[in-house]
Structures are given as structure tokens and as C-alpha cells.
């Protein structure tokens, strides 16, 4: 600033001297005043021109690229350019952080809805759209009460008590496919609100399954206990003959065996749920496993014959080319799955029926099948057969001694071994249950392999 003032005074002095000493038609002092006037007007016009250039740059949209100028305005433009560039970098960084933050919220498994002081929707993510049916674009600045016409939610909003969450039906809720959404409001800022939603359908279903499981276990254990207590009270209070006592003891033994079977199945399921996946390097001779299953099936058939007088045609068909093979995994689990299928076939096939147990190797998997000529299963029951305690006919299950856990165990075992259970059945024409193991778990024995 001082340099510019000195520059201004120097030019005016030069104009004064030139006007005073250079010959012209005016007097010396008049010439000096004219010189000062000309210099001052020239500087004024130059500064005006520079100011117009500076003003044009300020009014333009290209503030980061000012025109080259000298003097105070040039320095001012350069400083403003640096300031604008710094602010622009900060703004770009802020926008990128905001974009990343919104992307993270978009990827959140929870629904997020920002509401203003009047409950208008300011912003929402895709998950909120899936949970609550809110369209992020079309429903912007709409009252959320108009979109969530749920009495529970309306009462929740009116209450003003947001310390807890509420559960409402989700956008995709149907009678055959329920969807439960937990919603909670969190006030923030100056009267604004944050609404969070999460899908708790699986948790609700797990809770229902837990309650049903406890109820079923209690029922299954209570029935034989009631029978046992009745027999004990009868034997304590009545004088019975030796034959009657023996009959009562036989019946009590059957009920105790039923409870023991139930407890054993429950322990098996607990073990399957909590243990690591079976090894793929632990190999077992398949023909030995096959023979063991055959012996157990024959033993069960003999017991059923003695108890009910029933008889079955039991056929175990192991192709010769598969006899010198091995199977990998948990031997106890695989044997449990095999014997459960054979046991179910024997128990639910009427006397005189046939049960065929076979195995074969396909292109992509090895399969173990149990086919019977029993009552068959209606199509509506097939999807639920592997549920714990699910029974088509409870009275028939009690008669056969089933616990309702056998197929649940079979499904767990085959899934843990990387395969799946296939069920085919036709009412009054029998059923076929097939376990499909990946071929990586089945191989031919050779001299370098030894049975574990």
C-alpha cells in the first residue's frame, strides 16, 4: 500500500515537472496542474479498467482461474483464488465424506429414516424401503404417518415415549410369509428425529420355535411319565396278581424306553448343533457301515415282530462295484442318519410291506436310498417333515414309538456333510428318502488307504 502511494506521488511529481518545465502555450504553473491532472486521470482510468476486469472475474463462475493482473487488485485476486481453491478442496472432501457416510448407511442392514420437526421424511435408505415401503425419492417430505398407517405406530408417535421399540408388520408381510419389523425413534438436534428399523422375523420365528420346542418336549415327556405314575400308584394301592404285575412292568418298561429314546434324540440334536463340521479326511469302510445298518434293521424288525406280530420284506441292495469303497465324515452321524431312515420305514410300513435299502453313485453325488410301500405322505406335509416334532399323525407316531426328531437328525447330518435330503412320496403308494453325499466324500479303497 505504501509502495503504491509512493508510486502515485512519484507519477504526479513527474507530471508536475513535465508540465512546469516543458515549453507549451500555457504558463508554468498551469502546465504543472495540467500534468498532474493528466497523470491522475490516467491512473484513474487504468484502475477503473482493472476494477472492471476484477469485477468481471468475481461475477464469473471461474473463480479458480483469475486473469493475470498486477497491483493491489492482482494480489487480491490471487489471494482470493487461493482461498477459493482451499475452500473448494475442503468442500470436495466434505462431499466425499458425506457420500461415503451415506453409502455406509445405504449398506446398513437396518432401515434409517431422517425426519424433520413435523415428522416429514427428509431422507431414507434402501433398507427402510424394504422394511416399511418408503420410496426414497417419491416419498421425500411426506408425513411418515401417511405412509405407515399402523395403529401401533400411530399410538407410539402420539405417546412421545421413544425409550423402547415397537414391532409392526413389514412391507412384505403375508399370511404365508410373515414379516416382523422392530421400529424405534431417536430424537436429535432441534426437534428432529431418527427412525431405525430392523427385520426381526427370524428372531420371532426362532422364539416361536423355541416355545414350540419346549412345549413339545414337555408334552412328550409328560405323557409317558403320567403313564408310569399311574402304574406305580396302581401297584402301590392294589393287590395284583403276578401276571398283572408282569404286564404292568412290561408297559412301564415301554414308556421308560420311549423317554430314553426321546432324551437320546435330543442329545444327538444338541451335539449336531454345537459340534464342528465333520472331517473330510477321516475315511471309513462303507461295507462295514452297510453291514452294521443291516444288522440293526434286522434287530428292529425282530422286535416289531415280537411286539406287534408284524412282518416285513427287508432288502439291502449294495452293488458289488461299491463294496470296496470308503466314505468320509463322522461315522456315528452317518450311521445315525442311515438307521433313522430304515427305522422310520419299518415303523410306518404296515405288516407285509417291503422296505428296500439301496445305494448308487451318480455323476456328481453318491446316494443312499430307503424306499417303502407304506402309507405315503400327502404333498402338503412334505415341506415340514424335517421340522422337530412335526408329525403327520400323532396317534400313529405314539403307536410306533417315534419321537418326531428322526428326520430332523437326518437333515442335520446330511447338511453337515455337504449334501441334502430328497423326499419323494405318493399317498397310499409309499415313500422314498434319499441322502445325497458329494462325491468328494466317497472313494474306492486302495492299498495306500486304511480304514480309520
Q: What is the pLDDT of residue 259?
A: 84
Q: What is the grid cell recorded at 300? A: 428292529
Check if the beta carbon of residue 132 is closer than 8 Å to that of residue 148: yes
Helix (H) or strand (E) holding 238, with range, is none
Q: What is the pLDDT of residue 165?
A: 92
Tell me how far apart the alpha carbons of residues 54 and 63 are, in angstroms, rounded to a whole number.
10
Angle CA(138)–CA(143)–CA(149) in degrees, nearest 5? 100
Q: What is the pLDDT of residue 449?
A: 44
Q: What is the pLDDT of residue 450?
A: 45
Tell me how far apart the alpha carbons of residues 88 and 231 are, in angstroms, rounded to a whole number.
90
Domains and CATH numbers, the chain: 2-101 (no CATH), 108-199 (3.30.450.20), 209-275 (1.10.287.130), 279-452 (3.30.565.10)
Tell me how far apart the alpha carbons of residues 439 and 360 are, in angstroms, rounded to a whole number.
11
Rg (CA), the chain: 44
CA-based nearest residue to 358, from 290, 277, 304, 443: 290
CA-based nearest residue to 128, from 140, 118, 156, 96: 140
**18 exposed, middle or buried (CB, 10 Å; 0-12, 13-18, 19+)?**
middle
Instruction: Please give the model's pTM, rounded to 2 decimal places.
Output: 0.57
Check if the beta carbon of residue 253 is closer than 8 Å to that of residue 245: no
Q: How far is CA 111 from CA 18, 102, 133, 360, 437, in A?
A: 82, 12, 11, 49, 40
* String of DSSP letters for 375-444: ----GGGGGGTTSTT--S-HHHHHHHT--S-HHHHHHHHHHHTT-EEEEEEETTTEEEEEEEEEGGGEEE
Q: What is the pLDDT of residue 24?
A: 59
Tens-digit pLDDT profile for the chain (452 aa)?
566 667 566 666 776 666 666 655 566 666 667 667 777 777 677 777 777 766 666 666 666 565 555 556 666 666 777 777 788 888 888 888 888 888 888 888 899 999 999 999 999 998 988 899 888 888 888 999 888 888 999 999 999 889 999 999 888 888 777 889 999 999 998 889 999 999 998 888 888 777 877 777 777 788 788 888 888 888 888 888 888 888 888 888 878 887 887 888 888 888 887 788 888 888 999 999 999 999 999 888 888 787 777 788 899 988 888 888 999 999 999 999 999 999 889 888 888 899 999 999 888 899 999 999 988 888 888 888 888 877 776 555 455 556 678 899 999 999 999 999 999 998 888 999 999 999 999 998 864 444 44
Q: What is the pLDDT of residue 414?
A: 93
Can you tell me whether residue 368 is helix, strand or coil?
Answer: strand
Residues shown for the chain: 452
Tell me how far apart the alpha carbons of residues 281 and 286 are, in angstroms, rounded to a whole number.
15
Amino acid at each position: 500500500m505504501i509502495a503504491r502511494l509512493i508510486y502515485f506521488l512519484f507519477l504526479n511529481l513527474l507530471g508536475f515537472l513535465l508540465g512546469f518545465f516543458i515549453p507549451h502555450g500555457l504558463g508554468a504553473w498551469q502546465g504543472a496542474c495540467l500534468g498532474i491532472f493528466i497523470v491522475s486521470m490516467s491512473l484513474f482510468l487504468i484502475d477503473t479498467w482493472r476494477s472492471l476486469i476484477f469485477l468481471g472475474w468475481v461475477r464469473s463462475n471461474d473463480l479458480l482461474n483469475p486473469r493475470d493482473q498486477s497491483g493491489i487488485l492482482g494480489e487480491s485476486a490471487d489471494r482470493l483464488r487461493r482461498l477459493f481453491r482451499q475452500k473448494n478442496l475442503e468442500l470436495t472432501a466434505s462431499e466425499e465424506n458425506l457420500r461415503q457416510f451415506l453409502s455406509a448407511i445405504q449398506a446398513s442392514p437396518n432401515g434409517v429414516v431422517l425426519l424433520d420437526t413435523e415428522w416429514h421424511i427428509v431422507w431414507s435408505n434402501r433398507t427402510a424401503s424394504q422394511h416399511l415401503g418408503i420410496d426414497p425419492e417419491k416419498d421425500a417430505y411426506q408425513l411418515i404417518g401417511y405412509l405407515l398407517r399402523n395403529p401401533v405406530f400411530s399410538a407410539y408417535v402420539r405417546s412421545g415415549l421413544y425409550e423402547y421399540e415397537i414391532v409392526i408388520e413389514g412391507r412384505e408381510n403375508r399370511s404365508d410369509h410373515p414379516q416382523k419389523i422392530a421400529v424405534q425413534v431417536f430424537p436429535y438436534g432441534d426437534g428432529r428425529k431418527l427412525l431405525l428399523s430392523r427385520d426381526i422375523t427370524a428372531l420371532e420365528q426362532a422364539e416361536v420355535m423355541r416355545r414350540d420346542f419346549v412345549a413339545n418336549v414337555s408334552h412328550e415327556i409328560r405323557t409317558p411319565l403320567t403313564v408310569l405314575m399311574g402304574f406305580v400308584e396302581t401297584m402301590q394301592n392294589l393287590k395284583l396278581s403276578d401276571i398283572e404285575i408282569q404286564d404292568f412292568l412290561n408297559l412301564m418298561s415301554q414308556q421308560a424306553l420311549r423317554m430314553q429314546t426321546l432324551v437320546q434324540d435330543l442329545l444327538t440334536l444338541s451335539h449336531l448343533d454345537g459340534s464342528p463340521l465333520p472331517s473330510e479326511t477321516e475315511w471309513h469302510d462303507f461295507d462295514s457301515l452297510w453291514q452294521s445298518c443291516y444288522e440293526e434293521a434286522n434287530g428292529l424288525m425282530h422286535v416289531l415282530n415280537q411286539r406287534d406280530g408284524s412282518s416285513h420284506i427287508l432288502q439291502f441292495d449294495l452293488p458289488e462295484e461299491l463294496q470296496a469303497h470308503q466314505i468320509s465324515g463322522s461315522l456315528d452321524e452317518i450311521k445315525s442318519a442311515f438307521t433313522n431312515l430304515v427305522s422310520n420305514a419299518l415303523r410306518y410300513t404296515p405288516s407285509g410291506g417291503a422296505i428296500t435299502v439301496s445305494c448308487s453313485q451318480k455323476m456328481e453325488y453318491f446316494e443312499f436310498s430307503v424306499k417303502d410301500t407304506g402309507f405315503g405322505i400327502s404333498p402338503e406335509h412334505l415341506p415340514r417333515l424335517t421340522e422337530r416334532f412335526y408329525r403327520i399323525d400323532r396317534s400313529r407316531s405314539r403307536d410306533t414309538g417315534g419321537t418326531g426328531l428322526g428326520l430332523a437328525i437326518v437333515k442335520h447330518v446330511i447338511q453337515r456333510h455337504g449334501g441334502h435330503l430328497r423326499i419323494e412320496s405318493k399317498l397310499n403308494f409309499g415313500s422314498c428318502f434319499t441322502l445325497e453325499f458329494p462325491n468328494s466324500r466317497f472313494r474306492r479303497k486302495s492299498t495306500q488307504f486304511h480304514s480309520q
